[in-house]
């Protein structure tokens, strides 16, 4: 069977940077440690007034096409995943295609375009759609572009405000990929939840604490489902485990749950049992509450063991490097985590040829998906093309007053006319309806 997977990846960040410790914390009258240590975030990426989900998605896709020497004729499918869509009819992919067509002599007339919505997991669902399209043989030898793009903004003074971010990830999905091969096995955990919603409103209504519980519950279910597909999982099967990362503190909790879950009945559980005992089983307790308390105690002890900490340092910590500097990108977040892990591995000369990654995607509302990917030899050359370091370093550092104005500028209900803070350079810009997509 021909391998299908991600051939290339590009990341496009919003052009502004909000420092959470220096700028946001004093304005909120909070200890900076809440953001840097508790949530695990140093900064958020913000869009300048000329940036939105279309421009960021088009900029990422354009860089991808240029780098891979592609023209619209090579592309048979454009999928956009977003939870920041502004049009209930026309998909964001048509706006992105319009931007791209303005700089190529060809158009995307014969490409199938669509938009996926299921909160943050939609990026992974779009990847699945592209994979299935190629696998089904309906692609006529063409490639798919999958774009995950969001301006993840919360209402001012919402607790989620500290976790904001804005950016896009574009992925080229193709046969014989250069980066990772996707697997056919998947696990899902899904339930109708109301932890995070945007019913005809721009900023989300979020029950933050509940959303964290729902993330963990769906993740556990997806892991169980995945295990049933692959017949068991061992922590050492995977070199990197990229999670959906609303903020690194959430991944800290999710990783502990995942690790505890997958070490059950393995040699790892037996080894750590010498230090902290065997993990509790439900049948050993009279009430569910007693069982949950025992599990919490065991998990806390587990995360203190050297074995867990070494696993976390190798497989999780590298995936959080970019998220710490940009915040939550919703649909793009788990794909940023994969790119961050691979970028870190390349920098540290880690041999990941044929290694397995375990991807944990999550979307509020709510669904988790677990699948694995196999790293393709030569991956280092592909990941070396990312210019994310330059992009992060080039962001304009905003003051709190500028942040307030920029947030208003992106608030659809606000009437402000705000001057841009940076000058666009060789990128698509939002220049008013009907004129959007001009490249400056
Ligand atoms: N030093 C170190 N740590 C500190 C600290 C300090 N001075 N002050 C607080 N902390 C710690 C807290 O102990 C806490 O850590 P633990 O959870 O490990 O105990 C952490 O910092 C955050 O503090 P709070 O819980 O007090 O923060 P909060 O209540 O103001 O907000 C939040 C946290 C609920 C996650 C909020 O940011 C939020 O609503 N975010 C949006 C929703 C979200 O991201 N949910 C995640 C799951 S849903 C999902 O993943 C989908 C998605 O993308 C949205």
Quote ipTM for the complex: 0.99
Q: How many domains does the chain fold into?
A: 1
Return d(Cα 365, Cα 23) in angstroms, integer: 32
Which residue puts its alpha carbon closest to atom 14 of ligand 1?
38
pLDDT tens column, 33-48: 999 999 999 999 999 9
Range of the domain at 91: 4-439
pLDDT of residue 434: 53
Q: Are 154 and 207 in contact (CB under 8 A)?
A: no
320 C-alpha to center of ligand 1: Å? Answer: 16
Which residue puts its alpha carbon closest to atom 16 of ligand 1?
38
Q: Are 291 and 280 in contact (CB under 8 A)?
A: yes
Of 116-125, 356-365, 414-423, give the lowest mean pLDDT range.
414-423
List the one residue out of 217, 160, 211 whose CA is nearest residue 188.
Answer: 217
With a cut of 60, say whether residue 436 has pLDDT above it. Answer: no
Residues with Cβ within 8 Å of 363's Cβ and at least 6 positions away in sequence, in order, are: 118, 119, 120, 121, 122, 244
pLDDT of residue 118: 98
- Three-state DSSP at 170 gives strand
Return d(Cα 248, Cα 223) in angstroms, integer: 20
Q: Indicate the top mutation candidate among 166, 197, 208, 320 to test ligand 1's pocket, ranked by most ligand atoms within 8 A of CB.
A: 208
Place of tokens 């017949």: 231
Which residue puts its alpha carbon closest to atom 40 of ligand 1?
160
39 C-alpha to center of ligand 1: Å? Answer: 5
List the one residue out of 262, 154, 254, 167 whose CA is nearest residue 208.
Answer: 154
Q: Are 148 and 168 in contact (CB under 8 A)?
A: yes
With a cut of 60, say whether residue 394 has pLDDT above it. Answer: yes
109 C-alpha to center of ligand 1: Å? Answer: 45
CATH number at residue 213: 3.40.47.10
Q: Are 259 and 314 in contact (CB under 8 A)?
A: no
Return d(Cα 344, Cα 318) in angstroms, integer: 6
Give yes or no for residue 268 CB within 6 A of ligand 1.
no
Give yes or no for residue 120 CB within 6 A of ligand 1.
yes
107 C-alpha to center of ligand 1: Å? Answer: 45
157 C-alpha to center of ligand 1: Å? Answer: 14
Which residue puts its alpha carbon closest to atom 19 of ligand 1?
38
Which residue puts its alpha carbon closest to atom 34 of ligand 1?
208
Q: Torsions phi, psi of 261, nearest 5?
A: -65, -45
Average pLDDT score, the chain: 96
Q: What percent of the chain has pLDDT over 90?
A: 95
Cut 0.95: pTM above it: yes
Give yes or no for residue 377 CB within 6 A of ligand 1.
no
Give yes or no for residue 44 CB within 6 A of ligand 1.
no
37 C-alpha to center of ligand 1: Å? Answer: 10
Structure tokens given for 400? 């709190």
pLDDT tens column, 266-279: 999 999 999 999 99
The length of the chain in residues reads 440
Helix count and strand count (H, E) for the chain: 15, 15
Q: How many C-beta atoms surround the C-beta of residue 31 within 10 A?
A: 12
Q: Which residues are annotated as catalytic?
A: 83, 120, 244
Structure tokens given for 414? 């606000």
Give yes or no for residue 211 CB within 6 A of ligand 1.
yes
Q: Indicate the top mutation candidate among 20, 119, 246 to test ligand 1's pocket, ranked by most ligand atoms within 8 A of CB.
A: 246
Confidence of residue 418 (pLDDT cuts 50, 70, 90): confident
Which residue puts its alpha carbon closest to atom 1 of ligand 1?
33
Atom of ligand 1 nearest to the CA of 33: 1
With a cut of 90, say whether residue 433 has pLDDT above it. Answer: no
pLDDT tens column, 334-393: 999 999 999 999 999 999 999 999 999 999 999 999 999 999 999 999 999 999 999 999
Atom of ligand 1 nearest to the CA of 212: 47
Give yes or no for residue 37 CB within 6 A of ligand 1.
yes
List the one residue out of 165, 151, 183 whose CA is nearest residue 4.
Answer: 183
Whether the link from the prior residue into 265 is cis, omega within 30° of 0, is no
Which residue puts its alpha carbon closest to atom 47 of ligand 1?
212
Residues with Cβ within 8 Å of 332's Cβ and at least 6 positions away in sequence, in order, are: 11, 123, 148, 149, 150, 167, 168, 169
Atom of ligand 1 nearest to the CA of 364: 51
pLDDT of residue 263: 96
Q: Indicate the top mutation candidate among 20, 33, 36, 38 to test ligand 1's pocket, ranked by most ligand atoms within 8 A of CB.
A: 38
Give yes or no for residue 234 CB within 6 A of ligand 1.
no
Return d(Cα 196, Cα 207) in angstroms, integer: 6
List the one residue out of 53, 106, 58 whose CA is nearest residue 84.
Answer: 53
């Amino acid at each position: 069977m021909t391998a299908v997977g991600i051939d290339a990846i590009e990341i496009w960040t919003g052009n502004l940077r909000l420092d959470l410790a220096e700028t946001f914390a004093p304005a909120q009258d909070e200890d900076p440690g809440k953001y840097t240590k508790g949530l695990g975030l140093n900064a958020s990426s913000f869009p300048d007034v000329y940036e939105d989900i279309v421009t960021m998605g088009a900029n990422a896709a354009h860089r991808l096409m240029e780098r891979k020497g592609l023209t619209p004729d090579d592309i048979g499918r454009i999928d956009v995943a977003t939870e920041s869509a502004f049009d209930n009819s026309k998909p964001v992919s048509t706006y992105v295609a319009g931007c791209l067509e303005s700089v190529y002599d060809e158009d995307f007339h014969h490409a199938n375009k669509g938009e996926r919505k299921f909160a943050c997991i939609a990026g992974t669902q779009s990847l699945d759609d592209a994979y299935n399209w190629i696998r089904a043989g309906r692609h006529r030898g063409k490639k798919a572009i999958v774009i995950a793009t969001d301006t993840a903004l919360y209402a001012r003074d919402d607790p989620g405000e500290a976790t904001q971010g804005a950016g896009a990830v574009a992925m080229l999905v193709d046969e014989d990929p250069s980066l990772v091969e996707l697997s056919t096995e998947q696990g899902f955990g899904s339930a109708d939840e109301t932890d995070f919603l945007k019913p005809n409103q721009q900023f989300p209504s979020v029950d933050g604490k509940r959303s964290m519980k729902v993330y963990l519950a769906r993740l556990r279910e997806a892991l169980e489902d995945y295990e049933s597909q692959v017949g068991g999982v061992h922590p050492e099967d995977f070199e990197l485990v990229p999670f959906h990362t609303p903020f690194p503190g959430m991944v800290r909790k999710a990783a502990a749950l995942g690790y505890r879950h997958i070490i059950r009945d393995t040699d790892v559980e037996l080894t750590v049992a010498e230090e902290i005992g065997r993990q509790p089983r439900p049948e050993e307790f009279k009430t569910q509450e007693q069982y949950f308390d025992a599990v919490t105690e065991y998990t806390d002890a587990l995360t203190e063991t050297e074995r867990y900490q070494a696993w976390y340092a190798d497989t999780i910590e590298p995936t959080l490097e970019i998220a710490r500097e940009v915040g939550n990108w919703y649909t793009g977040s788990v794909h940023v985590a994969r790119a961050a892990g691979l970028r870190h591995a390349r920098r540290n000369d880690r041999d990941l040829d044929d290694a397995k990654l375990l991807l944990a995607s999550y979307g509020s509302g709510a669904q988790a998906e677990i699948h694995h990917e196999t790293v393709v030899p030569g991956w280092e050359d592909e990941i070396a093309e990312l210019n994310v370091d330059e992009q992060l370093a080039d962001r304009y550092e905003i003051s709190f007053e500028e942040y307030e104005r920029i947030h208003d500028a992106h608030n659809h209900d606000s009437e402000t006319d705000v001057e841009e803070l940076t000058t666009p350079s060789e990128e698509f810009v939002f220049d008013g309806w009907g004129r959007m997509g001009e490249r400056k």
